[in-house]
Amino acid sequence: MSYILNLKNKKGWIELITGCMFAGKTEEFIKRLRRYQYADQNIIVFKPAIDNRYSEKEIYSHSRMNIDAIPVNNSDEVKKIFEENDKIKKIDVVGIDEVQFLDEGIVDLLEQFASNQIIVVASGLDKDFKNNPFKNVDKLLVSAEYVDKLTSICHKCGGNGTRTQRIVKGKPAKADSPLIDIAANEKYESRCRHCFEEPK
Ligand SMILES: [Zn+2]
């Protein structure tokens, strides 16, 4: 019988936390980064500047857990800020929240980090409000070493919520409404496969 080499010393991989809204992705994201902090790992956390729901420089979960994060507009900014910080102290862990809101260059960058002894913890929605795969998360689902797909409770029936329904004036949003629309007047509900109403 042959034994696989012990690769414990080879650090560097991608952990993806995904699922629909209200599934606790941000809590899981923050919890996981905190664990690395407790282990004295140097962490750096980014979030898309588009998502400033609660705070400019922190990420808050719906239950008010928080962690410091640097707002960025694109993947080039992530690269630059990472390189500047890595000069001061070697970064061990990179966290990136709402990864679906950044440009597609972020996937390659995260791949490079993971190949260079960095642990990447990424979080993002797997599907948009039309139930189509969200960019970046679609590719990370394939390339990540570890994927946790979280579910929520269906707003209608209490079943297993796996989809995000955008509601405008009490009705499912139309299919031609913009994909990313954070500050608008709509609200979101999580729905199961059966209660999700396909936007028309
Ligand atoms: Zn349901």
Distance 18 CA to ligand 1 centre (A): 19
Question: CB under 8 Å, gap of 24 or more: what pairs does 62-71 form?
Answer: 62/22, 62/26, 62/27, 63/27, 65/26, 65/27, 65/30, 65/31, 66/30, 67/30, 67/33, 67/34, 67/95, 69/45, 69/95, 69/97, 70/44, 70/45, 70/46, 71/46, 71/47
Q: What is the per-residue pLDDT across 20-61, written as a single tens digit (0 to 9) for each? A: 999 999 999 999 999 999 999 999 999 999 755 555 777 877
Given 15, 28, 98, 189, the catalytic residue: 98
| Tens digit of each residue's pLDDT (9 = 90 or more) over 172-194 | 999 988 877 665 667 899 999 99
Q: Would you kindly state where each structural domain of the chain is located, as residue ranges?
A: 13-151
What is the assigned CATH class of domain 13-151? alpha beta
User: Binding site residues, as ranges?
Assistant: 19-26, 97-100, 154, 157, 188, 192, 195
